[in-house]
A and B are shown apart, each in its own frame.
Chain A
Amino acid sequence: MKLHEYQARELLAQYGIPVTGGGVATTPEEARRISEAIGAKVVVKAQVFVGGRGKAGGVKLAEAPAEAEQAARQILGMNIKGLTVEKVLVAEAVAYQKEIYLGAVLDRDTQSIVMIASAEGGVEIEEVAATNPKAIVKIPADPRLGLLDYQARELAFAIGLTDGKQARQFAQIASALHRAFVEKDASLVEINPLVIRDDGSLQALDSKVLIDDSALFRHPELVAIRDTSDEPEAEQKAREADITYIKLDGNIGCMVNGAGLAMATMDVVKLYGGEPANFLDIGGGAGKEKVRVALQIILSDPNVKAILLNIFGGITRVDEVARGVISALEEVRTNIPIIARLVGTNQEAGLALLENSPLISATTLAEGAQKAVAASQGTLPA
């Protein structure tokens, strides 16, 4: 789950990380009031889940409250890469001498939370990693004790913060960020830039927080602020039904049990010259109802010209899946050809069900993929 910038900075502020003054506004008038309260130059920023909002005109500086109101009026309702701006962050625009980077990620190589810092902030950390990897310092926090104070200090000195007071403040921010990461079950927390102000103090200007979806069950406070406005309707519907669905650009809809097999199915479709329309994993032990929802989701994509159903029944019973598809077809009438490859638990019963159905059966994944590709091109013999 992604947090908006305004949500991320509120979260970091709760942990004592210094953020700029400001607030979120949904109307130009509100933006004006926030600007008045700040009483200084402000920046008005669109709150949408896309990169490059600055270039798109979604970030504007304002010297006075009237200007902030004007900027908010321009930005609110703006369409940035297909998303409508519904909220703006109005924050104090501070003067600073330098931008640095501080972040934490869950790192699979060290099986720990790795703290990342760089004296080169302000740009994408991947870009720094590619062009000047030496400018990036990484310290894995102790997996059981957390980020130790000395580690936080090492991080500060390693990026050249040699002033004692400044290094101490940086170490405090790093420790707070780590604490936020653990307590909120993040998978990424990033302050970029963290700026050194003219008086030498540090302040977080922009931040990014991603939360581990698997841990949302223990964070009702985060679920409550979840913004799904950028989530396509089909993906939202899938999430609610506990189905993993990712829309792609092709025209062959895929319905598979298991993520690895779902990826492999897409690969095989591509190998035979087709383009998958989606990744879809119905999960283990899916019943009739889930299969019905999955089929509806696939059919909601107007690009789909053929559907490949690939089920290897272990826990999942293939006759149950076949029944789900057949009953769904009674509700959702479609002329789109459906190729079904059903193997494993209750295979015979599943195949018997296919006999008198409009589904086209295939024995192997390769055969299923070839038939789906032919069907998508209208060349599958009836």
Chain B
Amino acid sequence: MSILVDKETRLIVQGITGREGEFHTRQMVAYGTNVVGGVTPGRGGQFVIDGKVPVFNTVREAVRVTGANASVIYVPAPFAADAIREAASCGVELIVCITEGVPAIDMVSTQAYVKQCGVRLIGPNCPGLLTPGEAKVGIIPGNIACPGSIGVVSRSGTLTYEVIDALTRLDLGQSTCIGIGGDPIIGTSFVDVLELFEEDYDTEAIVLIGEIGGTAEEEAADFIQSYLRNKPVVAFIAGQTAPPGKRMGHAGAIISGGRGTAQDKIAALERAGVKIAKLPTDIAHMVKELV
């Protein structure tokens, strides 16, 4: 089993005819993801990806014709928030926004709207999700993962790949890998994902990859302490050497006003019984000892 995406996922791609959208749709289709359609305003009626995937002008039309239940967004940043709202308004249950550089103000109203629609948003500025052997929604390389029982949740992209790769090399397959995104305002938090992993019968252990900035890791620690007693968690926090006041690439990764340091996050997680890895690649060895 897995969380959020699997063989039943019927995916549409918003921005399918763009450079990123087309490239990654090919990868997702090659992985075996059930991509049922794409949306690019003005390109409705065409078929792309070697004539296999129909394009629609609107998400509403795409959902009506294909019965899609998930959407992945590759549209450029100025239009990404609108794309999220469009998908939410059509009742798409899972919306994954890969786009980087979405203005934060756009996400304030968009996130509120998504919540009101009762659908789930992952991202923006995230690598998406991968349920090995079943579905890839986003840009996580499929070849580094393999099916198994480790749940992976992260705020980062390539750092997550590094960890998935190390797990796979030790024969530790993954139930689902999720990158929740590096922006200040994101649709799904660590706690949201931990809740899902907690309920997922097939997830035996969880890897959490955090970074400096905000208090999402501290909230995760509180959740783990209170509700996640039966599944071991191993964590790594990136940015232990980052100086305060400098934004480390991700809009959300900044130590400001004395909050969001790696030390605080590590202390909170350790208090909750989480094992902390010093090296990102140590994670896999530590998980191996626990399961």
Contact assessment for A143 and B105 in the assembled complex, using a CB-CB cutoff below 8 Å? no
- Chain B residue numbers with a CB within 8 Å of A314 are 127, 139-141, 157-158, 161
- Check: B215 CB closer than 8 A to any chain A CB: yes
* B156 & A214 in contact (Cβ 8 Å cutoff): no
Identify which of residues 216-257 in chain B touch chain A, using a CB-to-CB cut-off of 8 Å: 216, 236, 238-243, 246-253, 257
The answer to whether B236 and A259 touch across the interface, beta carbons within 8 angstroms, is: no
Check: B165 CB closer than 8 A to any chain A CB. yes
Q: Do A264 and B105 touch (CB < 8 A)?
A: no
| Structural contact, A212 and B279, CB atoms closer than 8 A | no
Contact B113 A270 (CB under 8 A): no
Binary A-proximity of B104-140 (CB < 8 A = 1, otherwise 0): 1111110111000000000000010000000000011
| Residue contact B104 to A258, C-beta cutoff 8 Å | no
Interface locus among A32-40, A104-112, A290-298: A104-112
Q: Is the CB of A261 within 8 A of B184?
A: no
Size bracket, chain B contacts = 35 or more
**CB-CB under 8 A for A262 and B251, given A106-B105, A364-B281:** no
Interface presence of B273 (CB below 8 A): no
Q: Are B281 and A366 in contact (CB under 8 A)?
A: yes
Residues on the B chain within 8 Å of A262, using CB: 248-249
A312 touches B162 (CB 8 A): yes
> Is B209 in the interface zone, CB < 8 Å from A?
yes
Q: How far is B138's CA from A239's CA once the two chains are assembled, in angstroms?
A: 26
Give Cα A343 to B141, complex, Å: 12
Let me know if A365 is at the binding interface, CB within 8 A: yes
Contact of A365 among B104, B141, B258, B280 (CB under 8 A): B280
CB neighbours (8 Å) of A218 from chain B are 78, 103
CA distance A262 to B280 in the complex (A): 12
Q: Report whether A260 and B104 are in contact in the complex, using a CB–CB cutoff of 8 Å.
A: no
Query: In the complex, which residues 254-283 of chain A have their Cβ closer than 8 Å to any Cβ of chain B?
Result: 256-264, 266-271, 276, 279, 281
Q: Which of B111, B159, B257 contacts A129 (CB 8 A)?
A: B257
Report which A residues bind B (CB closer than 8 A). Answer: 106, 108-109, 111-113, 126, 129-130, 143-144, 182, 185, 187, 212, 214-215, 217-218, 244, 246, 248, 256-264, 266-271, 276, 279, 281, 284, 312-315, 343-345, 364-366
Q: Can you spell out 23 A-B residue pairs with CB atoms less than 8 angstroms apart? A: A108-B216, A108-B252, A112-B112, A113-B105, A143-B111, A185-B103, A185-B104, A212-B104, A214-B77, A244-B249, A246-B247, A246-B248, A259-B182, A259-B250, A260-B157, A260-B158, A260-B209, A263-B211, A263-B238, A267-B239, A279-B248, A314-B127, A345-B141
Apart from A263-B212, A314-B157: 8 A-B pairs, beta carbons within 8 A? A106-B185, A111-B112, A144-B113, A212-B103, A217-B77, A258-B157, A260-B154, A344-B161
